[in-house]
Structure 1
Amino acid sequence: MTRQITALISGASIAGPALAYWLDRYGWACTVIERAPEFRDGGQNIDVRGAGREVLRRAGLEEAVRAATTGEVGTRFLGKGGAVVAEFPVRESESEGATAELEILRGDLARLLVDAGNERIEYIYGDQITGIDDSSDGVEVTFEHAAPRRFDLVIAADGMRSSTRDLVFGSEASVRPLGMQTTYLTIPRTETDTSWWNWYSEPGGLTVTLRPDRHGTTRAVLSSVVYGEQVDVDARAARTSAADHKARLRRQFAHVGWEAPRILAALDDSPDLYFESIGQVTAPRWSLGRVVLAGDAAWCASPVSGMGTSLSLVGAYVLAGELAAHVHHADAFAGYERIMRPFVNQAQNLPPGVPKIANPRTRAGLAALHVALRAASTPLVGKLTGRFFRPPADKIDLPDYSHLG
């Protein structure tokens, strides 16, 4: 019998389980390792657009995702006292709109991907890779807790701050901060919450948003733009306590209106408070020997691109397909980069001024933003300004790997 090819995948969010699903379908033996102690149900609203939606369709998961969507009906920008400045209802489109037709919580999509995989896929929680010894015939991997193991390939799909990537590529890949700090949390739902993504801003680059979910709670976000020198605070996150993050938020948003006081009051009780500094990953190559990067570890386009989830799903599909289509992994990695690199480059090419343009520093800038949003919400002007709500989610010719498994 032919020996089954083995792959170790680091990261169990979106890209990791998607890769395991496709590789298992092609006959590989997959192990997914995740440093979180258990499956992470938390996470904010994410969308699936264009080619990402087609990948779900080919996996037979599109209807399952549709059944698990958040019910978000569109995006509303709010002014003083919560008055509606402009609204953008969800469109019947696979690519357009601030709110996509398929909006789902990160944890819900991850759960669908994990459950769709065969029980042969091994998931290990509460551990991480600490060493990689790559040779011509395999990769010897050491872990923080488990005994060393040998695999044919290792795939780093553990996010923008990938520790696996750093072990192999060092400083070759870089994270470019975009100058925005964001905090995500889940809060109790109240009667005033709606099925809209409500977006409220105040001068100083401060933004408060509330979004619906399907679990009877509300997903809240507090964002602030960093002016002057862009300090990548996320790089120091491990050395900053949760208490310090909360204290900073209470100082920054102390005098912000609308629902900011409610969110600040919920900081201590939120079960999934998460902080990050928005950035993009640039990597001159995505593979080295028998190790390859996937998802945000390879190309994080940032949440403001509207492309993160779709890129992860498409990248997993293409990488797995190329590995199944080629005898030698080096040829598969070359095909993967050739197909994905142009798609990633388009996704990382953000509209001018993003994210600061949507988070004005001055009162005059905020007034100008509201004028622009009112105009953009009209049919005629909306066609001219649509690029801001139309990420290049379908700008790739997806290969057909259906004959492989």
Structure 2
Amino acid sequence: MTGRRVLVSGASIAGPALAHWLHEYGMTAVVVERHDGIRPGGQTVDLRGAGRTVARRMGIEDAVRARSTSEDGVAFVDARNRVKAAFPAQAFGGEGFVAELEILRGELAGLLHERTRGHTEYVFGDRITAVDDRDDGVRVSFAHGADRSFDLVVAADGIGSTTRGLVFGGEARVVPLGLYTSYLTVPRAASDGSWARWHNAPGGRVVALRPDNLGTTRALMSFLCPPRGYERLPVGEQKELLRRVFAGVGWEAPRVLRALGDADEFYCELVGQVRAPRWSRGRVALVGDAGYCASPISGMGTSLALVGAYVLAGELASHSSHRDAFAAYERIMRPYVAQAQHLPPFTPRIAHPRSRVGIGVLNTLLATAANPVVQRVAARFLSPPADRIDLPDYTGLRRR
């Protein structure tokens, strides 16, 4: 139904993508973002399967390709930088460890913002503090701005969504996967090429480096650990934790640890998945990581965000009742999300061996999987289920 006014919380990927499609179908979106603007930088994300199809229908595929990191593949290396296994971006049909289209999260968010800011109101530096769901609409309070009324509210503010907490309480939960991961940007070095490099160290520790298109390098440091609240520590304490955990790790780890002190684009998270028994309550719905984060391990975060936004807006345009629209959205998306959240056995431990013997076994398995003949079988386990959804066609619902 055209004319609806929809408040979207979050301006990363799912939020602006939803704003795009709502406008296409004659609805008006207002996007509120707690940061002062679109957050730049961030780590590499990928468009694969149905996510790439949605990007094509949005008309942004070429723009994404132009801003791609042009990552040629990923190599698994030992402490002496010797390649133990390598997978080019074309492996597994371009849907493996590295996808054909890789782009920095901030670059994609900026692109979506550019494409929507002409018709979408963005409210930066604010956040939702209360949601009063009424029969005729939703009255929303903000930390700084005046109260406003909308027809619907959609939470697209990530795995730690505060909007989800306000409306769903503890009904939706984050299921930890026993892994902490930190991300930062480091100066580019002569040893960095066009391939991502992944290094396993004993103790379930990983250091990875990925090229970007901005003249720097994206670094990842992850380690197996049960939930201990590290994600809530002040940044300084998180960095000191990493220095302790990765002390003694060779390869490029000392270089990454030295860069910690000056790293502004630093983020530490407890890796997990969002499990929500339902994605709507009254006039409020969830989309993307806020509703069904599959974790970075899945390789499906961006695809779920883009596809979820596309389906949610399309179903809102297809139904006069928001309840019917939300029900249809969930019916279409649930199987796709369930597949994305179904991780290979022993994830993430299998990619983070604790012993040198385990690392040797992993490298042997990866080298075997890298064989083109074996790839056809290995694809069942190493390729995310990015295209396993029958995307509806909402073309006839677009504004003329």
Do structure 1's residue 343 and structure 2's residue 331 form an aligned pair?
Answer: no
Q: How far apart in 2 are the matches of 1:343 and 1:157? A: 18
Listed one character per residue, the Cα deviations across residues 180-204 of structure 1 (whole Å, up to 9, x for unaligned) are 1000000110111011110001110
Shift of 1:232: 5.3
Specify every segment of 5 or more residues in structure 2 that has no aligned partner in the other structure, as ranges.
Answer: none
Shift of 1:118: 4.9
* Structure 1 residues 322 and 94, CA gap change in structure 2 (3 angstroms): farther
Give 1:105's aligned residue: 104
Give 2:381's aligned residue: 388
Do structure 1's residue 354 and structure 2's residue 339 form an aligned pair?
Answer: no
Query: Any conservation in 2 of the 1:138–1:290 contact (CA below 8 Å)?
Result: yes
Give 2:122's aligned residue: 123
**Could you say what secondary structure the match of 1:316 adopts?**
helix
Q: Between the two proteins, what is the percent identity of the paired residues?
A: 56
Alignment of 1:1-400 (within 5 A): 4-91=3-90, 96-226=95-225, 230-231=226-227, 233=229, 237-238=231-232, 240-400=233-393
Amino acid at match of 1:174: R
Do structure 1's residue 401 and structure 2's residue 394 form an aligned pair?
Answer: yes
Query: Any conservation in 2 of the 1:95–1:393 contact (CA below 8 Å)?
Result: no
* Structure 1 residues 124 and 231, CA gap change in structure 2 (3 angstroms): same
Amino acid at match of 2:257: L
Number of residue pairs matched? 398
Query: Any conservation in 1 of the 2:156–2:287 contact (CA below 8 Å)?
Result: yes
Structure 1 segments (4+ residues) deviating >3 Å = 92-95
Q: After the TM superposition, which of the residue ranges 108-117 and 204-213 deviates more from structure 2?
A: 108-117
Q: After the TM superposition, which of the residue ranges 373-382 and 35-44 deviates more from structure 2?
A: 373-382
Listed one character per residue, the Cα deviations across residues 69-108 of structure 1 (whole Å, up to 9, x for unaligned) are 0010001000131110010011177662211000000001
TM-score normalised per structure 1 = 0.96
Q: How far apart in 2 are the matches of 1:62 and 1:39? A: 20
Q: How far apart in 1 are the matches of 2:158 and 2:249? A: 32
* Structure 1 residues 232 and 58, CA gap change in structure 2 (3 angstroms): farther
Shift of 1:380: 2.4
Amino acid at match of 1:21: H
**Could you say what secondary structure the match of 1:184 adopts?**
strand
Q: How far apart in 2 are the matches of 1:178 and 1:223? A: 12
Q: How far apart in 2 are the matches of 1:94 and 1:28? A: 37
Amino acid at match of 1:298: G
Q: How far apart in 2 are the matches of 1:51 and 1:92? A: 18
Q: How far apart in 2 are the matches of 1:96 and 1:149? A: 43
Q: How far apart in 1 are the matches of 2:214 and 2:106? A: 12
Specify every segment of 5 or more residues in structure 1 that has no aligned partner in the other structure, as ranges.
Answer: none
TM-score normalised per structure 2 = 0.97
